[in-house]
Structure 1
């Protein structure tokens, strides 16, 4: 689907020229000539980005404020284009919600590079918001913390004295940690000042390019995106020229934003604050993805792994056992007469029993052992490097852990006794890969039924090979 750009400019010539440039880059362009038309348009259809030029009925700054007050465009990338933008005008636009300021005239490459950089960041933010909404609907997420730790801001400049004055002002304006850094300190954070504090790279990097060596110095940008310590850092580049191919190249090489080298401390502070917010949102996105993955393989009641995780893990254990020529044990455990618990005391009591069973299983197994809930009251236990004797001893210990201490249930007058039956299958190493995990479970399950038939609260070892 093509990205849609809303172009707002009262001058017809400007709109025509910009539409030709954007259409050549495969953007769909909608045009409006006033702030009023723009506000009406975004209520009908939300654009991917908005470009604001000269207006007759409002200032670009005022239109920015109005757009940010509308839910559909509250987070949309907005570029303010100005023929002359002094420091105070840029600060006013940024404070009003502009994502970027584009000084005119500028080359086509810079316009498109600005859009690409803004849309990359915007799409990350939208993905986060969508995932957070889904996780909230499923009850899997908590509200973001109201307190954020101070961000770590690295200032990278060959000529450090040129930023010294502004650095002092930045420290007064923002509650973050600022450190002057060399390229070596950036790429090896454990040896740098930020690394000594946190063991990680900076949250945001501000890179000041020297006018005579800018094309050489900006080659650090691809390396920043390729290194683990700096891959996700926000990057602001202070460039000697922000209207030509240099600024375009800086953005396409991986910078998130570019500002004039002479920018005031107030403007730099606004841009750093914007990048810090984006970095934190990206970190939350990655955390959300990891939480989703954990939820997909975890049983919510017991906190144990579920069947989706357990079977592939058994395959990995089997591969290791076959490589090292060591046996391993597969156990299927099932609570005895569990239906009576639910029928007599209710499902809340049954859930409490299952959670306590899971805890006792974990407490009586090694860290290397796998324990998973694979059915209603059925559990899977896998012991790497386990002989018949080791597996038998472990299974009897698990039975004792259930039967010897009664279970306290919510609302119950007295604790109740719960027992468990276990079927054990010893998987011998095989050069040909051996049986599939499902076959191992089937053999252990057959042994479980034999244990049940012999009176329950029993351990039965499978005497036949897996199918």
Structure 2
């Protein structure tokens, strides 16, 4: 049997636990059972569940106590906790949501709705875990991560997407007392109006008997602009099948039994807070990835970026048959600058030299700092003549204007040597084209030749192809 995940069921009533175990085991989940809070911490450490279903009231505590205990464990803090309440107990449902529970299900449980809600929560947790892994300093090779608490936006944008304009107006009015929301209402037939303005943080979608609205949920979830927008469905009745379909189409939560402003507000608060945390993790991940490719001193790309970029340029060149230039550049006598003026002044020269080279190359290619005073430049789709001109301009940019240092009255002069390797694969396959490692070695030999010839000049090695 293939196990889809581990679910911990907590309930003081054995028959309730047994019924849930039968339902969940039939769906290939591994089910672990518990009765009360006592001993739960040890059980959590041993089992490490993917999701917890807990009765609203346990013999020695509540669902809120379970949520609090799990939240204290860093390894389990993102595990969804769902409260199980009695049928038609609206106040219990609102209380559970107010206590921060991830969702509420009522007895008796329809298989379709129970399993759809579990799938939805496990997908959300998988997204969180994926971001946490990718954002971790180990995965990016970075230092200690910053993990500040993120609150929900002070004024989140919330849109009501109604099937009937009158419902949209009524729902917007009912929510308008929540000053933390910037509200607007749209008709479901006019998605363009909703998508043409600022993208909402959350959308409350009316789900009626028209099945086409389920396609709207799927459409919103698949669009890049609204892929991370919170989607909350509102069902006029208690149709478990339609609620299940809505969850599987992308809804983050579904409210049964009609519009309830109190429940919508609680779900919006919980879901928007989660979205804010996820957005911050995505932003942090993007920043971390970007910084992992950047040399912190000069702001140029680093060696890690350069090696991947030159590989991609070579692959494209092999596919198109158009040549590219690879240059290695090294500041001449840089050690003498460090020895005479100090490393801070040497860093200043490196920074200014990097800016000058970047200005010469512009968007035609990339400039990367790959060593202490060594740089790599690669330019795709360039002829030999233009590459030589660019390399000569790089030399001129360094030697023509002395470098000003903060603690020196007189600017100092510096020069640079450039080794140029032209690659012109002309319809060679990627396998037949010259390996990148060999291209770099050839450029390095050209750089050595420039140093041997007196520095402050360009030497070229032409591809044999």
1:228 Cα deviation (Å)?
2.6
Structure 1: distance between partners of 2:308 and 2:207: 51
**In the comparison of the two structures, how many residue pairs are matched?**
457
Query: Equivalent residue for 2:94?
Result: 91
Is residue 325–residue 430 contact of structure 1 (8 Å, CA) maintained in 2? yes
Report deviation, 1:65: 6.0
Matched, 1:276 2:277: no
Task: State which of 3, 6, 26 in structure 2 corresponds to 1:4.
Answer: 6
**Which of 353, 356, 360 matches 2:356?**
360
Instruction: Give 1:133 deviation, angstroms.
Output: 4.8
Q: 2:36 aligns with which of 34, 37, 59?
A: 34
Partner of 2:26: 24
CA distance in 2, matches of 1:323, 1:13: 66
CA contact (8 A) 1:8 1:38 kept: no
Aligned to 2:439: 440
> Which is further off, 31-40 or 152-161?
31-40
The TM-score normalised by the length of structure 1 is 0.85
* TM score, norm. by length of structure 2: 0.85
Q: Check if 1:115 corresponds to 2:118.
A: yes
- Aligned with 2:241 (options 237, 245, 255): 245
Segments of structure 1 that go 5 or more residues without pairing to the other structure are: none
Shift of the alpha carbon at 1:421?
0.7
Match of 1:180 in 2: 185
Matches within 5 A, 1:62-461: 62-64=64-66, 66-67=68-69, 70-72=72-74, 74-134=77-137, 138=143, 148=153, 150-186=155-191, 188=192, 192-193=193-194, 195-196=196-197, 198=198, 201-210=199-208, 212-213=209-210, 215-242=211-238, 244-314=240-310, 316-317=312-313, 328-409=324-405, 415-428=411-424, 430-432=426-428, 434-461=433-460
Q: Hey, what's the Cα distance between the residues in 1 that align with 2:405 and 2:149?
A: 34
Q: Deviations over 1:8-64 (max 9, x none)?
A: 211111111112222222323232222334456346654322212264535635535
Give the CA deviation at 1:346.
Answer: 4.8
Q: 1:37 to 1:423 in 2, by over 3 A?
A: closer
Instruction: State the 1:159 CA deviation.
Output: 1.4
Q: Deviations over 1:162-220 (max 9, x none)?
A: 3433322323215233222234543x3xxx15523x3xx4332211112x43x443233
Distance change in 2, residues 1:44/1:382 (3 Å): closer
How far has the Cα of 1:333 moved from its partner? 0.8
CA spacing shift, 1:408–1:158, aligned 2, 3 Å: same
User: Post-superposition shift, 1:361?
Assistant: 0.8
Residues 26, 457 of structure 1: alpha-carbon distance in 2 compared, 3 angstrom cutoff: same
Q: Secondary structure at the match of 1:173?
A: coil
